[in-house]
């Protein structure tokens, strides 16, 4: 297995120290538009199996050329979702397999954005599923933590815990604090704006997918391992588009614990147009307002030594257990920032995302997971993944509600 990781930011750089402890691959190329950033990541690990390269992720031809140059077998997309399709297409043209942690972008319904779906997350990728299948290649989409591990939990609940599932609700919350900053997101602000300001999607059996206004249906969820109660709201996320394709549930939702202050900042950015991606003319230069916001905020990958607290990703499942009794469980994964920094030098949120594509790659390398076409994590046996997560030293948990 020869792997190309595109993106040497928070998640891409966190992949490297995780993968360096495993022996399942022959070589891993870390590529970024800023070659020096990729070179720093590789230099820090001092392992001859890693090398650095430059690539323009917006150019499918450049992606294809780099894959061919290094005879790459598997591509991991670790950049923000605006680059999904060029990387996805370049990988297909080069004849390699593909993994990502965020899917192709959505477009709201032009007339009823808070009622009906327009182009949904991942639609552009699923439209090519037959091509990938006929080509004998796999595009494993949404294999981060959310989406990713949360989807594995959903499949595990269906296979081992429930006879009938009423609702699957992905719930994400944290008690992380970044010292020295009034506002410092722990994940890509570009992606966070995209997720939080787009109309959230809900799935219901008999109705299919529909949308609601951003930050709708607030609820307080009690997160485990000392995180405690966090108010969560509806946010657009891939699980709602993935889980119903392989797991039978009457309702699927995603809610994120953002907090009032974070929501207020996002709403102000939207109000004054700083969430927009279309370029505007400023002093003779064309710039994207959202790119300016991202440039003004600290790089999430650099915040680890200022952060403290824990982050939790999990899947809340309600329904009828295999014995016929009412059952409600929360399957979860918690990462303490102090631990991830001490053990890997990566802050908790990006590390928790990065471990999952590495585990998936190892399962693909061994043949434990195999498939062709465009598939989500739910399409595979969840037990080998969950067992390997424990083997990597990061156990998961389950709470009976």
Q: What is the pLDDT of residues 59-85, one digit of tens each?
A: 999 999 999 999 999 999 999 999 999
Tell me if 369 is assigned to some domain: no
Does the residue 367 lie in any domain? no
Domain membership of residue 251 (yes or no) is yes
- Do 162 and 94 fall into the same domain? no
pLDDT grade for 173, boundaries at 50, 70 and 90:
very high
pLDDT value of position 191: 82
pTM of the model: 0.94
Per-residue pLDDT reduced to its tens digit, 125-143: 999 999 999 999 999 999 9
Q: Are residues 188 and 287 in the same domain?
A: yes
Q: How far is CA 127 from CA 89, 122, 124, 181, 184, in A?
A: 12, 9, 5, 42, 36
User: Does some domain include residue 13?
Assistant: yes
Q: Sort residue 374 into left (φ over 0), alpha (ψ -120 to 50) or beta.
A: beta
Per-residue confidence at 305, pLDDT binned at 50, 70, 90?
Answer: confident
182 and 267, same domain (yes or no): yes
Range 238-243 average pLDDT: 98
Return d(Cα 37, Cα 59) in angstroms, integer: 19
What's the average model confidence in pLDDT over 223-248? 96
Average confidence (pLDDT) over 357-363: 98
Q: Is 366 among the domain residues?
A: no
Residue-number span of the structural domain to which 158 is assigned: 149-347
Q: For residue 67, is it within any domain?
A: yes
pLDDT digits (tens, 9 = 90+) for 174-232: 999 888 887 878 777 888 888 888 999 999 999 999 999 999 999 999 999 999 999 99
Report which of 144, 140, 105 is spatially closest to residue 14, judged by C-alpha positions. 144
Higher pLDDT, 296 or 43: 43
CB 60 within 8 A of CB 87: yes
Among 100, 134, 162, give the residue marking a domain's end: 100
Percentage of the chain lying above the pLDDT 70 cut:
100
Domain stop point among 100, 133, 168: 100
Q: Are residues 75 and 219 in the same domain?
A: no
The helix-helix angle for 149-156 and 238-246 (nearest 10°) equals 30
Greater pLDDT, 258 or 70:
70
User: How far, in Å, CA of 151 to CA of 264, rounded?
Assistant: 29
Q: Does 258 lie in the same domain as 173?
A: yes
Domain of 28, CATH number, reads 3.40.50.720
Bond from prior residue into 147 cis (ω within 30 degrees of 0):
yes
DSSP states of 6-67? E--SHHHHHHHHHHTT--S-SEEEEEESSHHHHHHHHHHH--TTEEEEE--TT-HHHHHHHH
Domain of 339, CATH number, reads 3.30.360.10
Q: Which two tokens stand for residue 379?
A: 């399409």
pLDDT at position 263: 85
Amino acid 195: pLDDT: 82
pLDDT mean across residues, the chain? 95
More confident residue, 372 or 304: 372
- Judge if 192 and 340 occupy the same domain: yes
The residue among 100, 116, 137 that closes a domain is 100
Band (149; pLDDT cuts 50, 70, 90): very high
Average pLDDT over residues 229-256: 97
pLDDT value for 194 = 85
Establish if 210 belongs to a structural domain: yes
Mean pLDDT of 364-383: 98
**Residues 78 and 201 placed together within one structural domain of the fold:** no
Please name the helix (run of DSSP H) or strand (run of DSSP E) that holds residue 178, with its range, or none.
strand 177-178
- Weakest-pLDDT range from 208-217, 261-270, 324-333, 358-367: 261-270
Question: How many domains does one find in the chain?
Answer: 2
Q: What is the DSSP letter of 121?
A: T
Considering the domain architecture, whether residues 194 and 341 belong to the same structural domain is answered as: yes
Report if residue 387 sits inside a domain: no
Average pLDDT over residues 231-253: 97
Do residues 157 and 301 share a domain?
yes
Which has the higher per-residue pLDDT, 47 or 259?
47
Nearest to 4 by CA among 61, 46, 47, 65: 65
Same structural domain, 303 and 204: yes
User: Mean of the pLDDT values across residues 379-389?
Assistant: 98
Work out the number of other CB atoms within 10 angstroms of the CB of residue 295: 11
Asked whether residue 156 falls in the same domain as residue 244, the answer is yes
Residues forming beta bridges with residue 400, ordered by sequence position: 329
Give the lowest-confidence range in 10-14, 256-260, 314-318: 256-260
């Amino acid at each position: 297995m020869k792997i190309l990781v595109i993106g040497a930011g928070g998640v891409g750089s966190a992949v490297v120290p995780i993968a360096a402890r495993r022996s399942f691959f022959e070589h891993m190329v870390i590529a970024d538009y800023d070659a020096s950033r990729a070179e720093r990541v590789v230099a820090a690990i001092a392992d001859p199996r890693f090398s650095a390269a430059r690539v323009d992720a917006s150019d499918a031809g450049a992606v294809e050329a780099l894959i061919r140059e290094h005879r790459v077998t598997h591509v991991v997309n670790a950049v923000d979702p605006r680059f999904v399709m060029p990387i996805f297409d370049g990988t297909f043209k080069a004849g390699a397999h593909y993994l990502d942690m965020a899917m192709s972008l959505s477009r709201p319904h032009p007339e009823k954005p808070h009622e009906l779906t327009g182009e949904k997350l991942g639609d552009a990728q699923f439209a090519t599923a037959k091509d990938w299948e006929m080509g004998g290649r796999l595009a494993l989409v949404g294999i981060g933590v959310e989406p990713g591990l949360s989807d594995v939990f959903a499949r595990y609940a269906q296979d081992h815990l429930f006879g009938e599932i009423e609702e699957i609700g992905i719930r994400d919350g944290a008690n992380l604090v970044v010292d020295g900053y009034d506002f410092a997101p722990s994940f890509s602000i570009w992606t966070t704006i995209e997720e939080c300001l787009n109309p959230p999607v809900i799935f219901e059996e008999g109705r299919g997918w529909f949308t609601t206004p951003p930050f709708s249906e607030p609820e307080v969820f009690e997160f485990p391992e000392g995180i405690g109660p966090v108010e969560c709201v509806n946010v657009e996320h891939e699980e709602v588009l993935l889980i119903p394709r392989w797991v039978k549930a009457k309702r699927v939702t995603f809610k994120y614990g953002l907090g009032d202050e974070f929501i207020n900042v996002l709403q102000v950015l939207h109000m004054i147009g700083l969430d927009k991606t279309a370029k505007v003319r400023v002093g003779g230069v064309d710039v994207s307002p959202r790119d300016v916001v991202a440039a003004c905020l600290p790089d999430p990958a650099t915040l680890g030594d200022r952060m403290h607290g824990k982050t939790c990703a999990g899947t809340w499942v309600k329904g009828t257990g295999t014995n016929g009794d009412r059952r409600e469980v929360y399957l979860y994964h918690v990462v303490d920032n102090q631990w991830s920094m001490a053990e890997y030098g990566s802050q908790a949120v990006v590390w928790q995302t990065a471990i999952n594509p590495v585990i998936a790659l190892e399962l693909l390398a061994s043949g434990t997971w195999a498939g062709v076409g465009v598939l989500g994590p739910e399409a595979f046996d969840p037990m080998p993944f969950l067992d390997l997560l424990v083997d990597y030293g990061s156990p998961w948990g389950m709470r009976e509600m």
